[in-house]
Amino acid sequence: MPPNGPERFCPGDKDRSKIAKSLRMKIKHKIEKGNRVGYLFVSPYIIFFLLFTAYPLIFSFVLIFHKWNIIGPMRWVGLDNFITLIHDALFWKSLANTFIFLVIHIPLQIVLALIAAEMLNQKMRLRVFFRGAFFLPVVISGVVVTILWQQFYSTDTGLFNALLTHIGLPRVPWLTSTKAAMPSIALMATWKNMGLYIVLFLAGLQGVPRYLYEAAEIDGAGKLQQFLKITIPAINPTVVLVVIISTIGGFSLFIEPYVMTQGGPLNSTMSCVLYIYKQAFTFYKMGYAAAFGFILAFIILGVVWVQRKVVETEVYT
């Protein structure tokens, strides 16, 4: 609204209500127009959704019942893809590998990130610097991180084994033994993602009301007790979030084994997505790959659902 001008521009009461009425009409008209504009504005999304979400969803449901090498015609095979999948040792192997990854990655991630976040949450200098340092690997491509760690993990020339032999321990075949390879990748992934979880935990910790700690202190609770009884329950939503994000990440594991081990040795680092990729783009079995993707999607949703049930608690704050 313009500021009040000189006397002569001020409309009388009658005029004022007239203007107000016409204004209301104008706005109403615009709102009706908003209806059309609304559709216009969401139309790019509707097209996008139909093409790149709805169509693939529906087509996946067709593809899983077919054999198709993408060049020739599709052939209906019924449930064959699923029957083959159940008898495919590598399908189970890739799932088992993912679980090995998650069992190491998730607890390690939570413990380390929580400790780091708790430290950064103290009154301290250089917080921004430390946080920025921890976060650095998060922004850098997984390809780079993997190339780098491949050198560190090298059995003969790697820095880790140089360190171990230096303090008189035997070399570890980080990437060349079937037992160590997947845990090695899990360790690397923990290093890469920790910065993100530190930031999430830090946000969670800063949301815990101070008075809870003050009250606990008056009641004579020690630091450790405060951490276990106040902090842990209060940041439960963040823990749930971290568990879910790292689970989805674990099931999406691809570039790390692709660059580092190609799924070896003896398929011990064959991840689910790497297996789907190989079936689709090395053997051109689109139907089979789609069937694995289909089952995997339900496994992921199932696992996340169970995790929510188990980890999520009522928050007392």
19 binds another protein (CB under 8 A): no
Per-position x/- string for 49-88, each x denoting binding to another protein as judged by CB under 8 A, each - no binding = x-xxx-xxx-xx--x------x------------------
Residue 75's beta-bridge partner residues?
67
Q: Which of residues 6, 129, 219, 220 is near another protein by CB under 8 A?
A: 129
**Nearest residue to 262 (alpha-carbon basis) of 248, 275, 247:** 275
Q: Which of residues 42, 83, 232, 306 is near another protein by CB under 8 A?
A: 42
The residue behind tokens 């004579």 is 220
Give min distance, CB of 282 to another protein, in A: 12
Site for another protein in 277-306 (CB under 8 A): 277, 280-281, 286, 289-290, 293-294, 296-297, 300-301
Q: Which of residues 48, 76, 92, 283 is near another protein by CB under 8 A?
A: 48
Give min distance, CB of 130 to another protein, in A: 5
Phi, psi of 206 (to 5 degrees): -70, -15
Give min distance, CB of 266 to another protein, in A: 19
* Per-residue tokens: 41: 């504005």
Name the residue nearer to another protein (CB basis): 69 or 179: 69
H or E segment to which residue 209 belongs: none
Name the residue nearer to another protein (CB basis): 38 or 215: 38
The DSSP secondary-structure symbol of 228 reads: I
Site for another protein in 86-115 (CB under 8 A): none
Phi, psi of 6 (to 5 degrees): -60, 165
* Per-residue tokens: 49: 């959704």
CA distances from 273 to 23, 94, 108, 189, 248 (A): 59, 9, 23, 16, 12
Name the residue nearer to another protein (CB basis): 215 or 283: 283
* Per-residue tokens: 288: 């089979």
Per CB under 8 A, the segment of 48-56, 84-92, 95-103, 223-231 that binds another protein is 48-56
**Nearest residue to 182 (alpha-carbon basis) of 266, 243, 299:** 266
Cα 46 from Cα 44, distance rounded (Å): 5
Site for another protein in 230-269 (CB under 8 A): 238, 241, 244-245, 248, 251-252, 254-255, 258-259, 262
H or E segment to which residue 75 belongs: strand 75-76
Q: Which of residues 38, 107, 209, 222 is near another protein by CB under 8 A?
A: 38
